[in-house]
Structure 1
Amino acid sequence: MKYNPLFTNKESKAIDSLAIKELGFQEETLMGMAALSVFHANEDLWKTAESIWILCGTGGNGGDGYSLAYILHQEGYNVRCFSTAPNKSEAGKFYESLVTSVLGAVGNVEDFYKEWEEAKEDSILLVDAILGTGFQGNLSEELADLIETINDSDVFFYRLSLDTASGWNPYNLGKKEETNVFVYADSIEELGTRKWENVGFIYEKDSVIPRYYEAIGFPIRTHLSNVTFSNRYYLEADPETAIQTLKRKNKDHKYSAGSALFYGGSDGMEGAILLSEQAFSRLGGGISKIFSPSLKISSLVLKEDLSKMTKTSSLAETFEDPFLKKTKTIVVGPGLTQYPNDLSGWSVPEDLRLVLDAGAIPTKGSPLPKGNQILLTPHVGELNRMTGKTHHSVQAAYDTLIDYCSGNYVYVLLKSFVSLLVCPDGSSYVWESPNPKLATMGTGDLLSGILARYLSLDLTIPESVHMALSFLDHSKQLEEPYPSAHQILKSLVELV
């Protein structure tokens, strides 16, 4: 799996302190390395600006801003620096003094407003270095007014934030509007560590704003201790591996190519379980069987394909079917209208992977089945129903699920524009690749079938989730703006 560690604000501070106090890095050196990495990462962007304004705060984030201002000036750019107040750190004071010596002066907030009133529309690139990831609490009235001016002004054609957008706090989402004042950054440059609190940064509905990571020499690989790391990872797409993994080998037979059992499709909802199974079989699955409470299931299945196996039954009867003993994966839920009581307390066979989707997502208090490889795949509404809590951010969902998953020994994949997998051992994985083409009826059923396909190949649940999401990412390339789930599946089948 391709993944990178995500650090909380507290963990990032611990690594920063470790680098300075134990490894002997000079704070000025780290600030300089941070600024240099941002400069080189955005060389094409700087060239688009008539003028670059950098707003610097009083902490380390402000120090990074001063350091960047110095580099930009020396490289010939028209740069202006403004301070909300004098910098408090020794390293920050060093760069503030350096900038003052080369620019002649560092403006204050009052100067910022005066020059802003005279600036032309779309003439300024703004760098936000006001508040870093360590900021907690409420903004002062002065800073809130400043940030709202930045957001509302047509003077700034681009807003680049260092480390995090000043004022951003994912735990304020869903609260009163006045607590949600933050810079509407067009992009964020994360310095030294990838930041957990930045995951899901949005200011437009379901639109994740780009974040770029810049290495500055932090010891993030050699010091992944329990103190400095909380087992959160950022997943990167691996589309080619996802495709190659699905391709059958010459020596495969129907079981080694992957087997799966599907249960779902209440009356009138049979299409959901059929689509889920179709995703599994058309992507190379060797053998499968569909069970459903619907009396129509056999006629619907055999009408499409006489080679399919299908049966009308209760879920309890499915557990007794000989096919279950031969298969590795079972998907329950697509097309069901309510949580099956037969799942409550069911002891899942040791080597069987169970995927619970849609109608098989339990409500709060419903007893779960017992096993060591159970994956629940709720969307946000189902997660709220499942836990009895409302969640407005990925971070809030994580806080709930870290206890839920360990307490029930289950894996949970939260499906949203940012997807989150939380594992019973406390590890978690974030997938941040919004795909509006999946916002259509049936794509959840599609995902459950694709997950079953990877699970049937003896991949672990985290590996299967990574491969399934990477594979589904190919649907972004469809020319159809609003494809149906069947159109998406057809395009994916062509890849393998």
Structure 2
Amino acid sequence: MKQKPLFTNIESKHLDSLAIRDLGFHEETLMGMAALSVFHANEDLWKTAESIWILCGTGGNGGDGYALAHTLYQEGYKVKCFSTAPNKSEAGKFYESLVSKTLGSTGNLDEFYKEWEEAEEDSVLLVDALLGTGFQGELSEELKELIETINESDVFFYRLSLDTASGWNPYILGKEEKTNVFVYADSIEELGTRKWENVGFIYEKDSIIPRYYESIGFPIKTHLNEVTFSNRYYLEPDPESAIQSLKRKNKDHKYSAGSAIFYGGETGMEGAILLSEEAFSRLGGGISKIFSPSSQISSYVLKEDLSKMSKTSSFSDLTSDPFFTKTKTIVVGPGLTQYPQDLEGWTLPEGKKLILDAGAIPSFGTKLPKGNQILLTPHVGELNRMTGKTHGSIQSAYDTLIEFCPQNKVYVLLKSFVSLLVCPDGPSYIWESPNPKLATMGTGDLLSGILARYLSLELSIPESVQLALSFLDHSKQLEEPYPSAHQILKSLVELV
């Protein structure tokens, strides 16, 4: 699997200590490397600015800002540096002193406001180096006022934050009693590590703000062997493998090409289970059968394709069907409005994999089936219903699922603008590739069928999730601005 490690604030601090204490890095060196990385990564951006202002805090993030100011000045850019107070770290003091010598001075906040009042509209590129990822306290009134000025002013045509947007705290999103005041960064430069707390950073509707990772020589690989690493990863898109995996081999027969059972589609909602099965079969699945509580299911299925199998059935009757013993992949839920009672406490036979979606996502207190290869695919509302908790961020959902998944021995794929896969045995994976094309009815049913297709190839659940999401990502290329689920499926079928 293509994946990159994600580090929490605490883990990033451990890395910092590891680099300095055990490997002998000087903190000034790390700050200098961070500044150079940010400078070179944004050379085209600097050229667009009449003036660059850097706001520096008192910690390591402020030190990075001073180091960047020094580099920009030496490279010929018009740069001004303002600080909330003198820097507290030795390395930060070094660069603060260096900037005072090279730029002539650094301004305080009173001077910042004075210059801001005189500046022209869209004339300043602002670099936010106020607060690092380690800041978790309450903002002072002074900082709140400063951040609100930054966000509301038309002087700043671009706001770039170092490491994180100052004040950003995903753990209080959705909690009405608290207000999260943070810099509305246009982009974030993550320094040394990819930051878990930045995942899902958003302030504009339907738009994740870009974050760029800059390597500065941190001992990431060394740290992965430490017990302090929390086992979180980015899933990287793998579009080519997603396509190649679906192609049938010459020696395949109908079962080795992939077999699956689909259960769902109550009366009036048969289309959901039909779409899931269609995705499976049209993407190369060898054999499948639809079971449904609807008495009309066979007429719908045979109308579309006389070669397909279907049966009106309860879930418990499904398990006694001869086809059940022959297939290893089962999808339950599309087109159901309530959780099948037969699923409560049911034991998934060894060697089979089960996907629970839509109506098969249980409510809080309902017993889940038992097994070691069960994947639930809720959206946020279904997750809230399933756990009895409200979640305003990916981080808060993770905190719930990291307990829920091991306790229930299930995998959970949370479907949102950022997708989160939490496994029962430790690792968790983030998919951060928003796709507005999928914001349409039926794409959840489509995903269930695609997941079933990859699982039928004897791939693990994490591998199947990565490939399914990578495959669906191809739909971004559709010219149709608001494609239907069937249009999306048709375009995907053409790829294989």
CA contact (8 A) 2:172 2:178 kept: no
Q: Secondary structure at the match of 2:175?
A: coil
Identity %: 83
The AA in structure 1 aligned to 2:365 is: G
Map of 1:3 onto structure 2: 3
Cα distance in 2 for residues equivalent to 1:353 and 1:173: 35
CA contact (8 A) 1:378 1:414 kept: yes
Q: CA deviation at 1:206?
A: 3.0
Cα distance in 2 for residues equivalent to 1:275 and 1:440: 14
Q: Secondary structure at the match of 2:5?
A: strand
Deviation sequence 1:383-442 (CA, Å, 0-9, x none) = 000000000000000000011000000000000000000000121000011111111110
Q: Which runs of 4+ in 1 moved over 4 A?
A: none
Map of 2:19 onto structure 1: 19
Compare 340-349 and 383-392 and name the one that shifted more: 340-349
CA contact (8 A) 1:333 1:361 kept: yes
Cα distance in 2 for residues equivalent to 1:379 and 1:22: 43
Map of 1:432 onto structure 2: 432
Deviation sequence 1:274-318 (CA, Å, 0-9, x none) = 000000000011110000000000000000100000000110010
Q: Once superposed, what is the RMSD of the aligned Cα atoms?
A: 0.8
CA contact (8 A) 1:133 1:163 kept: yes
CA contact (8 A) 1:11 1:227 kept: no
Q: CA deviation at 1:226?
A: 4.3
The answer to whether residue 308 in structure 2 is matched with residue 314 in structure 1 is: no
The answer to whether residue 181 in structure 2 is matched with residue 181 in structure 1 is: yes
Q: Secondary structure at the match of 2:278?
A: helix
Map of 2:43 onto structure 1: 43
Gaps of at least 5 residues in structure 2 are none
The answer to whether residue 373 in structure 2 is matched with residue 369 in structure 1 is: no
**CA shift in 2, pair 1:208/1:177, >3 Å:** farther
The AA in structure 1 aligned to 2:385 is: R
Q: CA deviation at 1:178?
A: 5.8
Q: Secondary structure at the match of 1:405?
A: helix
Map of 1:327 onto structure 2: 327
Cα distance in 2 for residues equivalent to 1:226 and 1:315: 46
Gaps of at least 5 residues in structure 1 are none
Q: CA deviation at 1:225?
A: 3.4
Q: CA deviation at 1:207?
A: 1.6
TM-score, with length taken from structure 1: 0.99
Cα distance in 1 for residues equivalent to 2:471 and 2:207: 21
Deviation sequence 1:464-488 (CA, Å, 0-9, x none) = 0000000001111111111100000
Map of 2:243 onto structure 1: 243
TM-score, with length taken from structure 2: 0.99
The answer to whether residue 123 in structure 2 is matched with residue 154 in structure 1 is: no
The AA in structure 1 aligned to 2:410 is: V
Q: How many residue pairs end up in the alignment?
A: 496
The answer to whether residue 83 in structure 2 is matched with residue 83 in structure 1 is: yes
Deviation sequence 1:168-224 (CA, Å, 0-9, x none) = 000111124762100000000000110000000010123211101001111111221
The AA in structure 2 aligned to 1:275 is: L
Map of 2:60 onto structure 1: 60
Cα distance in 1 for residues equivalent to 2:235 and 2:427: 13
**CA shift in 2, pair 1:408/1:177, >3 Å:** closer
Cα distance in 1 for residues equivalent to 2:426 and 2:144: 37
Map of 1:296 onto structure 2: 296
Cα distance in 2 for residues equivalent to 1:40 and 1:477: 31
The AA in structure 1 aligned to 2:267 is: D
CA contact (8 A) 1:12 1:228 kept: no
Please give the residue correspondences for 1:16-415 in structure 2 after superposition, counting only pairs within 5 Å. 16-176=16-176, 179-415=179-415
Compare 222-231 and 316-325 and name the one that shifted more: 222-231
Cα distance in 2 for residues equivalent to 1:205 and 1:463: 30
The AA in structure 2 aligned to 1:29 is: T
